[in-house]
Amino acid sequence: MNAQSPSDYLRDAELLAVQVDDLPADTPTRPVEQVAVIGAGTMGGGIAMVFSNAGIPVVLIEQAQEGLDRGLGTIQANYDRTASKGKISQQDVDDRMGRITPTLSLDDAADADLVIEAVFEDMDVKKGLFTRLDAIVKPGAILATNTSRLDIDEIAAVTSRPQDVIGLHFFSPANVMRLLEVVRGAQTAPDVIQTSMQLAQRIGKKPVLARICDGFIGNRMLTPYRREAEFVVEEGASPKQVDDTLKDFGMAMGPFAMGDLAGLDVSWAGRKRQAATRPKHLRYSTVADQLCEAGRFGQKTGAGWYRYEKGDRTPHPDPQVDEIIEKAAADAGIERQQISENEIIDRTMLALVNEGAQLLDEGIAQRASDIDVVYVNGYGYPAERGGPMRWAEDRGLPAVLAKLEEYHAKHGDYWKPAELIRRRVAEGAGRF
């Protein structure tokens, strides 16, 4: 058990997350006084606002005038809305808009100290862009990708300066969400890592360092969380029951409403990318794929796991979704039954914890508390529980291991307990 209150634990966790274990405290940093952001969509526009809000001039680059105008319009509307609530003055709005310079020319990134790409989540697109940036951007500039899943080393490899490449994974909406995953590549220079961690604090973010794997810390853990949510739906729960149960647990949103908000096509693209390497003996739910195949991408198309009325974000259960779920379950030979709230919580939360322990063992995350910082600040995990790893410690690692072993026996290889949990329990340890 953890003697600290969850709030004290999280405060200390956020302070600790800034420290990079293998970097001396006096590691130098590079100056960042001019930033270029490539892509003026939701992410790029939000990232541009983050730097402008911190007083740092931004060149915002798009390839088409229409996209640039749309992006600037969204930024202006965001600032106007904030001003209308009395949170900033009209002068603040003018100053912040004035620090953002729109352009259609990639050459305008030439003088930037930091370039952040926020373009389409496609490896070939990103590699093509980084090849061009390598020829344009000044020596010593930091080249950052906002990718949420892709291999940063593969992106860095197309440049002549892989030591200058890093992942800066902002969370949407970037101008609101406090978390920043700083993802170091195999060749990322120490001063680039140090600069990124300190810059994150300068722009009001809470940085957590990660190494490279598919999804880094947050999204890699989200995969088994969503998997179990989809499995319990096939087994008899409804999307609304799962979402309501997890909201009662304290999550800001349930996984299905969250998926609809983010856009189901984003994770669909990832699943299609991984399809060839997915082990065939492991269970796979086709429900989310079928929703996407039917053009149901979430709120933006008016239908996903739920249906939405025009101009309203309220999720309404949809009988069409129930039909898809029931047919998928029948096709998979699953006999549907009542699912308890405890089962929903255990299946989703322990999936998070087990994956988090695996990440720790692989060295993707530096410490268990870093994972909790990620989940509380980026994924709506209830702060009063301290994060998924703290929740597991409070529950007791032996009890966690016993439940994982029960699920392993019942549900197969997905539930093989992380070796770190086995070791810590064998050592008699109460914490990760």
Residues noted as catalytic: 169
The answer to whether 102 touches 68, Cβ cutoff 8 Å, is yes
Tokens of 282: 């492991």
Strands of 54-205, DSSP E: 58-61, 100-103, 114-117, 142-145, 165-170, 179-183
Beta strands at 114-117 and 142-145: parallel, antiparallel or unpaired: parallel
Report how far residue 210's alpha carbon sits from residue 363's, in angstroms, rounded to the nearest whole number. Answer: 8
Judge whether 366 and 209 are in contact, CB under 8 Å.
Answer: yes
- Looking at the DSSP assignment, which residues form a beta bridge with residue 59? 36, 101
Q: What is d(CA 6, CA 369) in angstroms, rounded to the nearest whole number?
A: 11
Pairing relationship of beta strands 35-38 and 114-117 according to DSSP bridges: parallel
Three-state DSSP state, 367: coil
Give the single-character DSSP code of 403: H
Q: How many Å is the Cα radius of gyration of the chain?
A: 22
C-alpha 316 chain-centroid distance: 26
Sheet with 142-145: strands ordered across: 100-103, 58-61, 35-38, 114-117, 142-145, 165-170, 179-183, 206-210
**Are 415 and 408 a contacting pair, CB within 8 Å?**
yes
Longest Cα–Cα distance in the chain: 63
Non-local (6+) Cβ contacts of 103 within 8 A are: 59, 60, 61, 62, 68
Q: How far apart are CA 112 and CA 48, in angstroms?
A: 13
